[in-house]
Amino acid sequence: MSPSSVELFSGRAGEWNAFASGQPGGTHCHRHEWLGVMNAAFGHETMALAVRDGDGALSGILPLIRVRSLLFGHYLVSLPYLNDGGPLGSDFAVTALAAEAVRLADESKVKLLELRARDALPLDLRLSQRKITVLLDLEPDPEKVLKRLPAKLRSQVRRPAREGVEVRFGADQILPFYEVFARHMRDLGTPVMPRRFFQQIASHFGDDAWFAAAWLNGRPIAGGAGLRFGREFEITWASSLREFNPVSPNMALYWAFLERASTQGCGVFNFGRCTVDSGTHRFKKQWGGRDVPLHWYQHGPASVTPSPDQGGVMSLGPRLWRHLPLAVATALGPQIVRGIP
């Protein structure tokens, strides 16, 4: 198959999004708006690749982002910072889009090409399944969802409200969410994403972008953000402050998102990606969801990964980063995380 059948998409975003919505493997990561978010928040070069059939209708799409830095190298990823976004469409189109992505990667001598997908794709590329996601089927009545939970978990969900914790949703919760998120990431020893990234998500996705913060005594102590796409909602970022663990604000936060997703007609709640058997994985599984291995296809040296925190230059990073003043970590973090897809 020749990659010559692939073109740079020049149509309207509505056409692209309508195609993504109609595909079985489509997720919010395939929405055209991500190209604008990535460029505005990070300055990344973006490419929208497409394949059309004989009638001129879309038969495949691939959003592709170029991530490069002096420290970590040069990558092509679909999509960085997210779980999905790889080639979508017919088998013919998916194969053609991947072939064109490989050609672009070789032409520009990137360190690694990674095409991220939830489902298996008909690609002859190296497969990485280092991450999974957890999906929970929902019902229209949140009380039925609550009753499915183990008794101990239901008690943990109800406790924060008794302690005075209140969860609030809205665009006005972006700053409280980010306040908690930045502190939590510093405490983990991980560079934080820029605040403008989340502001751009809110600007581009509107009501499909959900932001929430859990409050106690006038202070945000947990926060989360995610996106709705059709009948699925994914909570992609969530954090809480350790000193408030006794009142379980993270339980209140996750239940608030679950309840809202159920009430608004979502049939699936996506807990976001994690590593198998990690603490995060165990937290997500307790809600009764099912593990779904992610299929990330790679072209490039087998030793290369877009996650340099596993060793090398970042091996001492977490231990040092935790001791930085919060203001310094919040200022420096976005400059580093920009180059880590």
| pLDDT at 283 (0 to 100) | 94
Same domain, 80 and 178: no
Compute the distance between CA of residue 227 and CA of residue 173 in angstroms, rounded to an integer.
15
Selection from 339, 87, 133, 89 nearest residue 236 by Cα: 133
Specify the number of domains making up the chain.
Answer: 2
Calpha distance 174→191 (Å, rounded): 18
Let me know whether 116 and 171 are in one domain: no
**What CATH number should be reported for the domain holding residue 162?**
3.40.630.30
**Beta partners for residue 166, in sequence order:** 215
- Under a CB-based contact definition with an 8 Å cutoff, are residues 289 and 134 in contact? yes
d(CA 115, CA 102): 10
- Amino acid sitting at position 134: V
Mean pLDDT of the region 282-310: 83
Same-domain status, 125 and 141: no
Residues 220 and 177: beta-carbon distance below 8 Å: yes
Residues 109, 248 within the same domain: no
- pLDDT, tens only, 31-74: 999 999 999 999 999 999 999 998 999 999 999 999 998 888 89
Q: Which domain holds residue 54?
A: 3-129+295-306
Structure tokens at 50: 């497409």
In this structure, the answer to whether residues 157 and 258 fall within a common structural domain is yes
- The mean pLDDT of the chain is 92
Query: Is 38 exposed, middle or buried (CB count within 10 Å of its CB: 0-12, 13-18, 19+)?
Result: buried
Lowest mean pLDDT among 21-30, 94-103, 313-322: 313-322
**166 and 69 in one domain?**
no
Phi (first) and psi of residue 262, to 5 degrees: -65, -45
To which H or E segment does residue 17 belong?
helix 13-21
Taking 90 as the threshold, does the pLDDT of residue 136 lie above it?
A: yes
